[in-house]
Amino acid sequence: MNTVNTRTRTLGVNFNNNGSASIVLWAPEAGHVEILIVSRNIKIPLISEEYGYWILKTDILSPGEQYQFILNGEKQLPDPASLSQPEGVYGPSKAIDLKAFAWTDTNWKNIPLKEYITYELHTGTFTPEGTFASMEEKLDYLVDLGITAIEIMPVSQFSGERNWGYDGVFPFCVQNSYGGAEALQHLVNVCHQKGLAVILDVVYNHIGPEGNHLDEFAPYFTDKYHTPWGNAINFDDAWCDGVRLFFIENALMWFRDFHIDALRMDAVHAIKDFSPVHILQEIKEQVDFLEQQNGRCHYLIVELDLNDTRFINPTYKGGFGMSSQWIDEFHHSLRVSSGQEKSGYYSDFNGIKSLAKSYQDAYVYDGAYSDHRKKKFGMKAKENGGEQFVVFSQNHDHVGNRMFGERTSELVSFDMQKLMAGAVLVSPFLPLLFMGEEYSETGRFQYFVSHTDPELAEAVRKGRKREFRAFHMAGEAPDPMGEEAFLNSKLHWELADKAPHKTMLAYYKKLIEIRKRKSALYVLNRKDGHVECLEDKGVIVLQRQHKNQNVICLMNFSNQPREVNVAVYSPVWHKLIASSDVLWNGSEDLPETIPGEITLVLPSESFTLYNNQNE
C-alpha cells in the first residue's frame, strides 16, 4: 500500500461516492485489528494487507458516527488519521466526509508567490471568539489593509483549547474548538472569494506530547536522532515507508480537500532524514503530481534555521524544491538595528551592517564565522530569487518566545516602529506581518498551553525557565498553563480606531499600497538594487530599481538627525512617503520634491522613500 494516491485521501476513514466507507489503518505490529462504532457498540474486524496495513470496506459506518480502533482485542484508541475529535485528544474519532463541502471557488487561481504580502495570525487570539467563523468577519479589514495572503498558525488537534498549535497530536484533524474541518473549508472558500490566498502552518518535525497515540500503532518515531521534542519522527529508519506516506498524504489533503494555497512547514531543520530522497523532496514531487491533476498552484514554504540553499533549490539542481524560506537573520539584524538588546543568538548581529548585508545577500551568515555557533555558518544564495525569502519585523516566535511576550510596540518608540515597518516592506523579499502590528497592538502575545497532565504542565514551566537563562532575563515568566496568558494574547481591536494606532494603521496601508504600485519594489529582482551602509551615521540607503524606475529608501536608525547625500541623479525626486511627516505623527515634513541628487537631513528614527517618477 506504500504507493501515494494524489487523487484522494486513503488513510483513516473516507467515504466513497456511493456512501460506503473505506477504512485504512497502518499497524504493522498488531496481530488483530477491529473498528468499534461507539454509539452502537458494533465491532468489525479489519483485513490484514501487506506492509502492515489493515483495510475494510463497509456500509455500516456513516458520517457523523464516532469510532475507535481496537488493537489485539485490548487497546481502544482514536484514529491516528482522524479528521475530527469532538471530545478532544483522548476521545473517540468522528467520521466525516471531506468531499461533502460545496466549494464555490472554482475560478480561484493562486496568487503568484512574488505577490504574497502575508499576515500571520493565531485563530484562538485573533478574534474574541477565537474561531474560523469569527475570523471571516475580519477578512474585509485585511483586504483593505492590502494583505494578499493569510497565514494561519497550526490547527491540528491539540490537548485542551489553548495552544499555539505546535503541540498537535492528530495531524489530519482540525481543532474542534476552532470549528473543525468544515469551518476551515468554509473560511478558505470565503478567503478565495475575497482574493486572499491561505497559508497553513503545519508541523512535520515532531508530534505534541499529550494525547500522542502514534507509537501505539506503529514505529512513527526513531531513537536514531534526538530533537528538542524527544525522539525524531521516523523518516529513514525501519518501517519508515508508512511514516513517510502518512505525512505526504497529510500535505496533499490540505491542498486537495481544504484548497489551501501554501503550507508553511515548521522548523524543517529539525527533520532528520538521510534517505536517498529527502521527505521534503518527496512531498514536493507528490505536490507536483497533484498540481497536474487539479490545475491549481501550490507553494511549500519552510521555516529554516540553516542558511542552506539546498532546501529551496529546484530538484533538478539537487535541491528539495521548496518554494521559499523564512530568514530569521533579517529579523535579528533589524531588531538589533532598532536598539534592542543583543543577548542570546542576537549577539551574532551587528546592527545596520548585518541588516545591509541581508538586503544584499539574504543570508547574513553565508560562510562567515558565527561566534554564537562557534563555527563557520551558511552558504551563498546569490542565484535565489527574492520570492524565495520571507522577512518580518516580528512573528509569533520572536514575540511569544520572549519571557513576557512583549511586542515591538512595547520595546521601541512609535517612530522606530514606523521605520521597522518600512524596512520590511521595501525589502526585495516577501514581507510578513504578525497580527496586530499594523495598528501597533500594545497587548502582549504570550506562550500558552492547556495540558491536562500535571507532570507535563510542570515540565513545560521548567523548560521555559531554562530557555530564558540564555537571554539572562530576570523575573518570573507568566504561567503558560494559566488562562490569563491566553486571554492577554487576544487582540484589542478597539485600538485600531484610536490615536495613535489609527495613524499607524493608515501608515501601513500606505506602505503596502506603494509596494504594490511601484515596480521597483514589487519586482523582486535582487540584482537590480544596491545597498549602502553608513555605519558611522546609523543610516542605510537602499536603492531599488526596475527598468527606468528608481526608488531610494533612506533609513535612519540613530537617535540623531543625520545628513545624507545620495549620488544618484534625477531631474526631480518625488517623495512617496516619509515617516517623519506630521501626517504620520512625525515632527517635520520632508520636501515633496528634490532636484538632482538627494541631499537631506534625515530626522532621527525615520524612514523615507523618494522616487524618480511622478506617478
Strands 549-556 and 539-546, by their bridges, are antiparallel
Q: What is the CATH number of domain 1-101+146-162+172-266+279-300?
A: 2.60.40.10
Backbone angles phi, psi at 532, to 5 degrees: -125, 130
Residue pLDDT, tens place only, 553-595: 999 999 999 999 999 999 999 999 999 999 999 999 999 999 9
- Containing 231, the helix (H) or strand (E) segment is strand 230-233
Q: Report the pLDDT value the prediction gives residue 474, as an integer from 0 to 100.
A: 62
CA proximity to 308, closest of 247, 236, 425, 388: 388
**Among this protein's residues, is 266 annotated catalytic?**
yes
Q: What are the beta bridge partners of residue 550?
A: 545
475 burial (CB, 10 Å; 0-12 / 13-18 / 19+) is: exposed
Superfamily of domain 529-611: Golgi alpha-mannosidase II (2.60.40.1180)
C-alpha–C-alpha distance, residues 318 and 577, integer Å: 43
394 vs 120: CA distance, rounded Å: 10
**Whether the Cβ atoms of residue 159 and residue 452 lie closer than 8 Å to each other:** yes
Cα–Cα dist 486/502, whole Å: 25
**DSSP strand E in 273-316: where?**
299-303
| Confidence band for 307, pLDDT divided at 50, 70 and 90 | very high
Residues with Cβ within 8 Å of 120's Cβ and at least 6 positions away in sequence, in order, are 150, 151, 153, 392, 395, 396, 432, 433, 434, 435
The answer to the question of whether 399 is labelled as a binding residue is yes
Radius of gyration for the chain, computed over Cα atoms and rounded to the nearest angstrom: 25
Q: How far is residue 256's CA from residue 253's CA, in Å, rounded to a whole number?
A: 5
Nearest to 311 by CA among 273, 342, 347, 346: 273
Residue intervals of the chain classified under CATH 2.60.40.10 are 1-101+146-162+172-266+279-300
d(CA 200, CA 262): 6
Beta-strand ranges (E) seen in 336-475 are 369-370, 375-376, 389-391, 430-434
Cell numbers 477565537 correspond to 130
Name the residue among 307, 359, 339, 370 with its Cα closest to residue 533.
Answer: 359
Q: What are the tens digits of pLDDT across the range 15-25?
A: 999 999 999 99
Q: Answer whether 444's CB lies under 8 Å from 489's CB.
A: yes
CB distance 266 to 154 below 8 Å? yes
**Interaxial angle between packed helices 328-337 and 351-361, expressed in degrees from 0 to 180 and rounded to the nearest 10:** 150
332 is in an annotated binding site: yes
Residue 278 annotated as lining a ligand binding site? no
Collapse the DSSP code of 52 into the 3-class scheme (helix H, G, I; strand E, B; otherwise coil) and give the result: helix
Q: Is the distance from CB of 505 to CB of 584 less than 8 angstroms? A: no
Q: What is the mean pLDDT of the chain?
A: 95
pLDDT in tens, 241-295: 999 999 999 999 999 999 999 999 999 999 999 999 999 999 999 999 999 999 9
Catalytic option among 237, 266, 366, 605: 266
pLDDT, residue 230, reads 85
Confirm whether residue 475 is marked as ligand binding: no
Mean pLDDT of 399-416: 95
Structure confidence at residue 469 (pLDDT): 61
pLDDT of res. 478 = 86
259 among annotated binding-site residues: no
Q: Tell me the per-residue pLDDT of 186-216, one tens digit each, with 9 for 90 and over.
A: 999 999 999 999 999 999 999 999 999 999 9
Q: H/E element holding 357?
A: helix 351-361
Task: Report the alpha-carbon distance of residue 558 to residue 249 in Å, rounded.
Answer: 51
As a whole-number percent, the residues of the chain with pLDDT over 90 amount to 91
Pairing of strands 389-391, 562-578: unpaired
Inform me whether the pLDDT recorded for 5 exceeds 60: yes
For residue 472, pLDDT over 60 is answered with no
Dist CA 478 CA 457 (whole Å)? 13
Q: Where in the chain is the domain with CATH 2.60.40.1180?
A: 529-611
Which three-class secondary structure state does DSSP give residue 376?
A: strand
Is the pLDDT reported for residue 475 higher than 80?
no
Is residue 53 scored above 90 in pLDDT? yes
Per-position DSSP letters for 233-300, written without gaps between them = E-SSSTTHHHHHHHHHHHHHHHHHHS---EEEETTGGG----SSS-HHHHHHHHHHHHHHHH----EE
Consult the annotation and say whether 398 binds a ligand.
yes
Catalytic residue among 249, 303, 348, 387: 303
Q: How many residues does the chain have?
A: 615
Residue pLDDT, tens place only, 311-355:
999 999 999 999 999 999 999 999 999 999 888 889 999 999 999
C-alpha to C-alpha distance for 337 and 333, rounded to whole angstroms? 6
Average of per-residue pLDDT across 70-95? 97
324-326 and 389-391 strand pairing: parallel
**How far does Cα 461 stand from its chain's mean position?**
25
How far is 332 from 451, CA to CA, in rounded Å? 31
303 is catalytic: yes
Q: Measured between alpha carbons, how far is 286 from 91 in angstroms, rounded to an integer? A: 32
